[in-house]
Amino acid sequence: MANLSLPGNPRYQPKDLQSVFGYDNLFRAIAEVEIATLKTLADIGIIPEANIGSLTPAVEQELLAISTSEVDDVERTVTKHDIRAWIRIAQSKVDPGLRRWIHVPLTSYDALDTARALQFVRGHEVVKRLTDKVIGHFVEQVDLFAQHAQIGRTHGQHALPITVGFWLATILSRILANIQSANSAADKLVGKISGAVGVYNAQVGLGIAARCGDKTFEARVLEKLGLKPAPISTQILSPEPLADYLFACVKLSAAFGQFGRDGRHLMRTEIAELGEPFEKGQVGSSTMAHKRNPINFENLEGTWIKNQVEFGKVLATMISEHQRDLVGSPIARDFPTIVVNLVNQLNTLLREVGGKPFISRISVDEASLKRNFAAQGDAILAEPIYIALQMAGYERDAHELVNHVAMPRSGQGGVSLLEATQWALAQQSADQVWSKIPAETISMLGKPETYTGAAAAKAREIAASAEAYLKGG
């Protein structure tokens, strides 16, 4: 039975990635590089037609099916080298006339680094497909709640009015920017067929390059794999292209972590503006039967923290000794964990019950929204009050007036901030300033829920951008 375990916690194993990063599939991409190399050697007339003819589709499938477990066994008992172990197994599966050509003129990391690029390109196909689905559902939620007034919060304190749709749009905008960054970085992943120190020694010195015409041997091999060659390499690829891709994945993971943090705080008992779906048979606590914990929001944030730590491994491999060393090799094997964690976040958001994904089953409590919005009365309009005064000709510091004179009086005996401000002006014999404030502004100051600025419009603008992206615009 194949071992399809993925890097990272064995409890979280998204099946979408098993064909790419499942343990026994890890050498499949290496086989693809080796097969492309054999075919290119044949294309330029180095491998005789009689020999390459034995590389039938059936034989190719046998090479592609060589499992990591098989390689492990030969490596541990015979070669003490993973690629030479794969070569030994591969040679046992091909015609004798083809055996001598396997791995010519490659070095291990021609195969390994190029295969790794292929794996992340294919892993990104999963990331993009799932992220695009999440974006579609976010667009629906942004449009649905674009005008639902909500109190904005900064520093954990009530700030100014926004809308629920605007909050969701701030998350959506980050998701959109980061998936586009990941798409671009995935397109820039490159391969290498440049030999043991990167200068094509065997290709040049043994006449292989001379047979290739206006397209290099490296370019010919990589073209068969859908990759472009790195501008220059050593025994290994420069770390930046893969680091750029993984950083884009980490940023995308952070956007979901932000959604998780916001969501779990909005679910707090004393806030209760948001609710996760609570399914039949679900348990919130092993002892407190009344609990409804924000488990999905917590997992979204917690998984981002895991990815934050994982990216430290990527940074640790940004340098290598001279043309390469093996220090970074075991570390790089953990890189797919970032993609695995990201896909787990995506699957959390997309997990369906009754045909609806989690993101669409989150409830918004209208009563809690209104209760929290009204908690401080019109005190949340301190900003427009002071600015209106300043614009109407108040000659002193209106912020000081509202902050230190009106605010202490408001709330006493049911006094509103508007009333307290008018009282404060009277104390300074500046009543006439109030009369200079436009009528529409006075009307707005009496309805805090209307002071949402461009929240709804901005939310719809981001939703429209996301729709254009999904349509390929």
- Strand segments (E) across 280-438: 352-353, 356-357, 363-364
> What pTM does this model have?
0.94
Helix H segments across 145-239?
164-187, 201-205, 217-225
The answer to whether residue 278 scores a pLDDT higher than 80 is: no
pLDDT of residue 473: 61
Tell me which DSSP letter residue 405 carries.
I
Helix, coil or strand: residue 208: coil
**Whole-angstrom distance, CA of residue 66 vs CA of residue 2:** 11
What percent of the chain is predicted at pLDDT more than 90? 91
Helix H segments across 92-144?
96-99, 108-144
The two three-digit tokens of residue 450, written as one number: 């209307």
The answer to whether residue 470 scores a pLDDT higher than 90 is: yes
CA angle 343, 348, 354 (to 5 degrees): 130
Sorted by sequence, the CB contacts under 8 Å of residue 374 that are 6+ apart come out as none
The two three-digit tokens of residue 353, written as one number: 């019950």
The answer to whether residue 203 scores a pLDDT higher than 90 is: yes
The answer to whether residue 272 scores a pLDDT higher than 60 is: yes
pLDDT of residue 276: 83
pLDDT of residue 1: 84
More confident residue, 278 or 117: 117
Helices 336-350 and 295-316, packing angle to 10 deg:
160
Q: What is the mean pLDDT of the chain?
A: 95
pLDDT of residue 55: 98
